[in-house]
Amino acid sequence: MTDDPLAQARHRTEAEARAAVIACALQMNALGINHGKAGNVSCRWDRSAASGYLITPAALPFHRLEAADIVWMALEADDGDAPDEARGQPSSEWRFHRDLYRARGQVQALVHTHSLHAAALSCLPAIQRSGLPPFHYMIATLGGSDVRCAAYHSFGTQALSDAVITAMQGRHACLMAHHGLLAAGGHLAQALSRALELERLSQMYALGLSLGGPALLDEAQMQDVMARFARRG
Ligand code: 13P
């Protein structure tokens, strides 16, 4: 069992969970995969009988975040329901955080960033059509033989959330057209490391494209990699 607060699937207290969400948001910026007031972070947190999640607030730079700024949202919350906290509004992207927690019982944490190479690739028509193809075996760490790109919709909309849910089916991460990336994990550290992995893969692919276009692994090769990862645990 690790002491890393970001690597806890279940935090002991809500205060600990709030601190971990802030630490994750700060690390995202320190790692250079997010900037300014882009991006948002959440983790599951249930309050007695109510299932829910803790999420970064809208439009507050991460370096100014305090524990009380993190917003608790009920998983049942729909449009029009007021957020629980009086202090601030939840991230404008609370719908796709809510919908992923509703749809995927294993997901404990989510990280959304506007990292440079992922955002750049997400603007290319070929990526929007077919996603990031199996040019490198590490694509398999994100759940399959490709990384899909969610269709473009305005930030904060239910349409964007629906597109993200579709792109995330059977995957731990996706690109978001003209926007950035989203990564899920069994804890904040895993979601963050998958976000970092997708950004690095995007950088490699962009470099490969600029050098003439990478060759692709075939489905049998990707299935072999996935079986090896599954055996390794
Ligand atoms: P929030 O500040 O509302 O989280 O928005 C940032 C963002 O990345 C929107 O996609």
Q: Which residues of 175-214 are buried (b: 16+ CB within 10 A; e: fewer)?
A: bbbebbbbbbbebbbbbbbbbbbbbbbbbbbbeeeeeeee
Q: Which residues line ligand 1 (CB under 6 A)?
A: 37-40, 58-59, 91-93, 112, 155
State whether residue 161 is helix, strand or coil.
helix
Which pLDDT score, from 0 to 100, does residue 231 have?
94
Q: List active site positions.
A: 93
Q: Which residue has better confidence, 3 or 67? A: 67
**Rounded distance, CA 72 to CA 74, Å?**
7
Tokens of 50: 């109510």
Q: How far is the CA of 212 from the centre of ligand 1 (A)?
A: 35
What is the pTM for the complete model shown? 0.95
Q: How far is CA 204 from CA 31, 127, 132, 186, 199, in A?
A: 17, 14, 11, 26, 9
Nearest CA to ligand 1 atom 10: 155
Average pLDDT over residues 160-177: 98
**Rounded distance, CA 68 to CA 66, Å?**
5
**Rounded distance, CA 170 to CA 30, Å?**
29
**Rounded distance, CA 35 to CA 39, Å?**
8
Among residues of the chain, what percentage have pLDDT more than 70?
A: 96
pLDDT tens-digit series, residues 98-132 = 999 999 999 999 999 999 999 999 999 999 999 99
Q: How far is the CA of 79 from the centre of ligand 1 (A)?
A: 17
pLDDT at 87 over 70: no
**Rounded distance, CA 113 to CA 38, Å?**
7
Q: How far is the CA of 221 from the centre of ligand 1 (A)?
A: 37
Query: For the chain, how big is the Rg over CA atoms in Å?
Result: 17
Q: Which of 29, 33, 34, 40 to mutate to test the pocket of ligand 1 (most atoms within 8 A of CB)?
A: 40
CA of 92, closest atom in ligand 1: 3
Mean pLDDT of the chain: 94
pLDDT at 86 over 60: no
Q: How far is the CA of 222 from the centre of ligand 1 (A)?
A: 34
CA of 113, closest atom in ligand 1: 8
β-strand partners of 4: none
